[in-house]
Structure 1
Amino acid sequence: MKLINKILFNIVIILLFFSCSSDDDMDISSNSKTKVELRLSYPQEIDISSPVNFIVSFKEINSGIETQVESKSPILNIDLISGNYKISVEGVIDNDKAPIKLTGILESISITGENQIIELSVHQSITQKGDLIFEEIYYTGSKNSLTGIPYFGDRYFKLYNNSDYVVYADGLLLAESEFTTNDKNDYSPNIMEQKFAAGGIIILPGKGKDYPIPPRSSIVIAESANNHNAIDKNYINLSSANFEMYSPYDDESVDNPQVPNTSELFNSVSIDKKGVRSYVIARLPENMSKETFLAENSYHYTYNEFGFLMDGDAMAIPNNWIIDAVNLSNGKDPDWILTSTSLDSGWTTCSLHEGDESRYGKSVNRIVTTQIPYKILQDTNNSKKDFKSGKPSLKK
């Protein structure tokens, strides 16, 4: 009976797949057009008395055809060929103090009929000055030089102090998304514009000023802070990492006693080898204990999958605690990004497409704007602009 039920379930999944494929491959060659009025709404705290310059991108998801329009008005009218669109907005408010960057995104919206009004909320890009940012994420692993088998033991995060001041790694949170960028569901409640749904959170050791990071310098947080290069020439030596994500609950984890360990605040963090998760670094408010954070920031969500009500539990990190964020994709436009656009309005990848074999041995590296008199990294809160794929900096 179990076998019969499994076969019937698989048949249903196959039928659903082909049904969805038919919808996704919708023919837009009919050239039927829709008059679209796009209305942009601002956060209440934003003063819009100064001039605003918007760049709006309309990308038809099935064909890949993209149209960009510049506007100085929050109401934009455009004729579009009917289809399924991703709409993204970047805006700048010019004022006497400092420009304010606005971002917004609609991951997927069907545009059909003669006329359609679309409302899109834009948010102020959050910039935390004088703290750490992601410099590099090495998640792809390397292939063994003899067997060609992928190896994932030498993955790491590299963080950079992009400021002119000493900052401290003590108590820093590093979190991995609960969800994935290649599988969008209608999770309820949707907290994304206020908080980041974290499936795993680690916290760095220290009592406040034990681990200073000088201006324009980096730290490495390794999954396994060992000399992997001793195993194979293609692997990376991480024995000099600053911190190690050692888990005492993982039987295969080998601790390097010379490298300080991170602690698991909520579940573990494992750098996703497919590159379909998002990562943030954050700091707890002053005087907030780990126990208080766990008690006050739990997140229970529900969603429907194939007609079944599903649920799960994660932690919710308020966006204003987050000092940097990066969304990863597997090489194609993701189904969605997992942060508010105020934190990161884009995504980065090492892959040309899903299953790309050339991704091995690559990392996503933040773009260097200048090396003189010291290295400054680009930080526009858009990972698609800020990162590029390349050789891991620690690979010899």
Structure 2
Amino acid sequence: MKKVIYLDNAATTRTAPEVVDAMLPYFTEYYGNASTIYELGGSSKKAMNEARETIAGILGAQENEIYFTAGGSESDNWALKATAEAYRAKGNHIITSKIEHHAVLHTCEYLEKNGFEVTYVDVDENGKIKLGELEKAIRPTTILISVMFANNEIGTIQPIREIGEIAHKHGILFHTDAVQAFGQLPINVDEYHIDMLSASGHKLNGPKGIGFLYIRKGVKIRSFIHGGAQERKRRAGTENIPGIVGFGVAAKRAAETMQERTAKEIALRDHLIDRVLKEVPYTRLNGDRTDRLPNNANFSFQFIEGESMLIMLDMEGICGSSGSACTSGSLDPSHVLLAIGLPHEIAHGSLRLTLSEETTLEDIDFVVDTIKGIVGRLRDMSPLYEDFVKKQAAK
């Protein structure tokens, strides 16, 4: 079996062995329902509370401000829909950015069909939100600003502290989708003036199907799932104890290794970016060069189609992406790349590579050498590239 070089960690990560080991007893030994009063259920509740305490500590939050969900998309939906419902008497206006994850954008579209107004703020060519435009968009009826901490496609980190300050200055709630940032970047909810924050376990070597929503004490948003009294009556349903335990272990692991791990990822990421930009002509880096996630590199290659590149990379044992995993079945170019000003034909030739602590320098060099060969072969088959070369030669 050929070696697989996995560079799609923004889509999902390998569950760490210690995370799996911590989860296993809660399937077969400590399997009690955490809502029961007997000892078997008490073991589950204790483990859940320990995970909640761990996550709260990482964020500088209180335990009772962490609510477990089934993942980042549910957390985003909850933050937006429940805030809209709870604060409708105050106003019906929400502000977000044009490059949010579809869990936010499609929720905003849903709210627009139900009487709410949404302003989608522009970003600059590097994917950073325009703070002046954001503040100008505020109305007396604005009840929520929702801007992601770091973009899942191009890796750009947003000026979250400044956005939080703007929101709080105007008495507006601030939600951030931190699915890509939690475990990769240090986050303190008080320092960044964050009222709600979404995260997901499988982005930081934890299990799939588990996430959380941080809700600052005093934010009066309502239940999202109705039923039992779980999660302090705000999110009904029997708790996913194995997932919660795994998420807690993964979060602690990510926090403890963050400094060393991300330093390694940044060094490899920059080596990857430097080699590609120097050695593959007619290529651009998408996203901010320095204010980006430690493990993210996103390129656009002119005169080729990204899906063809992914297939050929896969044949060489390399896993990458042309954008968000949630839109991989779409033939449309990335809304993020269009928002930063790329024309359709260049946006279609994009490649996202996201590293992990397991990635090596040898992996990166092999990937770059492979990309060079694939881009060359695809351009040789491209009539657009042939016409371009002829025009260049005629100059």
- TM-score class, shorter-chain normalisation, is under 0.3
Pick 1 or 2: higher relative contact order, CA cutoff 8 A, min separation 6. 2
Q: Of Structure 1 and Structure 2, which has the larger fraction of its residues in helix?
A: 2
Q: With structure 1 as the length reference, what TM-score do the two structures score?
A: 0.23
